[in-house]
Amino acid sequence: MKKRRCWIVLMFMVSALVNFDSFTLAGDTPAERATLRGIKEVLVVIEILDPHLKRSGLTEDQIRKDMSSKFTVAGINILTEEEYFNKALTETTPLAPIVSVALSSKKSNNLYVVHIYFQVLQRVFLEREPSMNVPAVTWWVDRMGILAPQKITFARNAVKDCTDEFINAYLSVNPK
């Protein structure tokens, strides 16, 4: 019986080293999806907060390109920072939402715990003070996983999965 338990534990550890074993939390209720209705353009902000992730070859440009193609297919225009801030200064229309993706990691016992936080921020009006509007997270997905150092680039695939979750949520309230 002890041998069998050791094999099960060993198989789990091997799986953790080979794959991006993760768990996901999400703010993806029907009400949160409804906040995505009518979005036509967004500013995408990507932050890789751990230098090790960058040294392993993961870049903001790679993630931006991965996201851009999926957003384009869904009909969402990605604004540059310059376009976003010019619109903010010159137009009276509401500011475009911001899609923020943050990646961080922590090394522990020769494994990396990788955290991906994918969120949509929009300006919202306070019910008690309608003249006041503030940025708020209206949709999000939060993913954590364990990776071996040589598999750290699997984090890029996890961001692709988060992007797919966002696109699916978006299309559920913005059918083509």
What is the tens place of the pLDDT at every residue in 121-171?
Answer: 999 988 899 888 889 999 999 998 888 877 777 889 999 999 999 999 999
- Answer whether 156's CB lies under 8 Å from 174's CB: no
Rg (CA), the chain: 19
End-to-end CA distance of the chain, in Å? 56
Report the C-alpha gap between 63 and 160 in whole angstroms.
8
Nearest in space to 141 (alpha carbons), one of 168, 162, 161: 162
CB-based contacts of 29, cutoff 8 Å, min separation 6: none
Please list the pLDDT of the chain residue by residue as tens digits (176 residues).
555 554 444 344 444 444 445 556 668 899 999 999 999 999 999 999 888 888 888 899 999 999 999 999 999 999 999 999 998 888 777 889 999 999 998 887 888 889 999 999 999 988 899 888 889 999 999 998 888 877 777 889 999 999 999 999 999 999 98
